Chains A and B, each alone.
Chain A
Amino acid sequence: MVPHIRFFKSATIAALLCLLPAAISAQNNGGPRMDHENTLPPTPTGPTPMTPDGHPDLTGLWNGLADNLLGVPNQMHNVGIEVGADATRDIHSGVQIATWPLQKRTRQNNEQNERAATLLRRMGSNRPIYKPQYWQRVKDFDANSNEEDPSNNCMPAGVPRMGVPSYIAQTPSYLVFIYPGQGGLIATATSYRMIPTDGRKHTNLEDLDGTWNGESIGHWEGDTMVVDSIGFNSTSWFDQLGGYFHSENMHVIERLHRDGNTLTWTATVEDPDVLLEPWTTTPRVVLLNPDPKAVLPESLPCSERDFAHVVTKEHH
């Protein structure tokens, strides 16, 4: 193939891929389409329903923003960059970031849009601190993520990379979390978790086969559901970006707190084999789907056909 034609073809494919999540979200998440002008979390409204056993009821379709993991606004929010009306702030460091509010601006092509998106997704300060001997490996994984990302080729994203469940069903003795496929930045397969909350203890780690989601057990700490997970494989990455690999000794503590029609989720990752200290995600706040008749639509089948056409290391 003539080189410039090959490049054009790959760039076109990459550009289409980049737009895919937004296009999918418009059709299959079931919630209202948001047109973000900021990355501020939604403000809670309404009462928090309680179950007969006195706990907040987490049951619901938590895709009220229609794009919980999709698009630059949520990806920036997920790394702690709050863009307001005329100011931007990194909520972890408190640093104010120069902002030029929306005005008439030069049209960008898809490559320019995606290169900017790649920078915007990575500009936050909240980064896990690996042991120095792993710094280069994380950089290499991120730089070569088109090849190295374990969630490519339709593999599971795993816990906690999947983020906030799109649907939660709650009973007195267990929770069910559902994560639709095509999860935005990480196009991946549909996944579910069944999480006992009956007071049982973890299986001994050495008796567990390492899996993508691990063994999860939930308990209440006040009004916050705490989901404790161990027993992972060492294949997945633990955040959306950055090549954040982990060992089989990873321990994840997720916290879910409902306030009215919002659900706040965080995950703390402990992995003394590779991290210098525990790391906690930026709190992610999602909105209950306001349509009482909303259901989760069927996820589109995941079939990777692009990689053979990618000729640069630019991210998609």
Chain B
Amino acid sequence: MRGTEMKVLAKSALMIAVLAPMAFQIVRGQSNGSKPSAGARFAAPGAMDDATGSGASDVAKTLKTAAETVGLARWSGVGGQRLPEVDVINTMEIWASGTCYALGPSNKPGESGPAFKAEYHIALGYNPPAMRVEMTRSGSGAAAQHTIEVVRDKYAWDESEIGAGLIPGKGTATPAMAAVNNRLLQLWLLPYGVIKAALAAGDKTKLSTESGAAVLTFPLSGPLADVTVKATLDAENEVAKVETRSDNPAFSDLLTEIEYSDYKDHGEIATDVKSPGHIVRKQGGHPVLDVQVKTWDANNPYLVFPVPENVKQAASH
């Protein structure tokens, strides 16, 4: 401490911090890198007497509550007490372990097959939208497999090591452009992606109730525009279940159902960002992934996703 007189000054600053004035509320959605939809602005919410309403104000209030619940919508009194709340989530890093399932013997989509022990290390970002999934799979009598799958914007590639292909002689980056949509979808179906995408969908986002639970339904944008997301909130306004559907046959393999539970701050450095501790993904009603989160660093860590030159060239062809 630089002197006791500073404590007095600090107390003064604290008093200022709690005198945040009231004002109106407008919610503007996030573009996810594309032009914001015209409906991204919501009308100022009034009192929400009926949680089953589907008006824009109810949608806005539900999304704001969900965003604040997980620690996505934040403001700080440290010299910024008059600034609005903003979406603070950009980069995250996750370590998880559990079970993944191969396709069944019949190779029918969604049919559970052999189970494998899986270790996941995931780095992701929403600005720009990007994700690197490093997985080690072992068990069922097969040799251990280690994969690194990356997506950023319109590029997807597989790495032989983290950051492969950026420096000559340092690993190999293999273009995987056909996987762009699937990998981006996984990013937007995480709880924070759901809230961001629902905000970005503007007035296309609808609110309903099922068995007393709030349900948000909205389309994704860009290359995933044909995918509709249905997100169910639990009693604490956390994203508990996410389902996708599409009338476009090209997306039939991407349709999925994910359940999130056991929310808390899983970071080594506390952030007040709540993340799910248990994730179960299903296809066709069968689990394809069941993992427990060990650590979820939400503190906007240094994570970058530069696109290797050979991947850019492959995408341009």
Contact = CB atoms under 8 A, between A and B. Distances in A.
Interface string A62-97: 000001001111101000010100111010011111
B83 interface: yes
Nearest to B12: A23
A135 interface: yes
Interface string A98-114: 11111111011011111
A22 B128 CA distance: 32
A178 interface: no
Interface in A36-82: 36-39, 67, 70-74, 76, 81
Interface in A120-175: 120, 122-125, 127, 129-133, 135, 138-139, 142-143
Contact of B40 (A17, A96, A131, A182): A96
B21 A19 contact: no
Interface stretch (A254-262, A289-297, A299-307): A299-307
Contact of A130 (B83, B128, B304): B304
B225 interface: no
Contacts of B252: none
B30 A96 contact: yes
B209 interface: no
Q: Which of B31, B83, B89 has the most CB of A within 10 A?
A: B83
Given A19-B13, A36-B82, A119-B273, A99 B27 contact: yes
B163 A104 contact: no
- How many A residues are at the interface, by size bracket? 35 or more
Contact of B80 (A36, A111, A301, A303): A36
Interface in B85-99: 85-90, 93
B14 A110 contact: yes
B2 A302 contact: yes
B84 A102 contact: yes
Contacts, number: 252
B143 interface: no
Interface in A211-239: none
A95 B31 contact: yes
Interface string B63-76: 01001000001111
B79 A21 contact: yes
A99 B76 contact: no
Given A22-B13, A71-B79, A103-B24, A142 B2 contact: no
Interface in B1-46: 1-3, 6-7, 9-10, 12-14, 17-18, 20-33, 36, 40-41
B86 A120 contact: yes
B213 interface: no
A241 to B, nearest CB: 9
B90 A102 contact: no
A125 B127 CA distance: 6
B83 to A, nearest CB: 6
B285 interface: no
B306 interface: yes
B299 interface: yes
A94 to B, nearest CB: 8
B271 A115 contact: yes
Contacts of A37: 82-83
Contact of A105 (B9, B20, B161, B166): B20
A98 B63 CA distance: 11
A154 to B, nearest CB: 10
A240 B40 CA distance: 33
B25 A301 contact: no
A35 B302 contact: no
B170 interface: yes
B269 interface: yes
Contacts of B78: 18-19, 22, 71-72, 113-114, 116-117
Nearest to B60: A100
A115 B77 CA distance: 10
A139 to B, nearest CB: 5
Contacts of B300: 119, 122-123
A183 interface: no
Nearest to A37: B82
A72 B178 CA distance: 42
A83 B84 contact: yes
A176 interface: no
A276 interface: yes
Contacts of B111: none
10 contacts: A35-B82, A76-B80, A96-B29, A105-B85, A114-B76, A116-B75, A122-B299, A187-B2, A276-B166, A300-B2
Given A122-B90, A131-B167, 4 more contacts: A23-B12, A98-B86, A132-B166, A313-B269
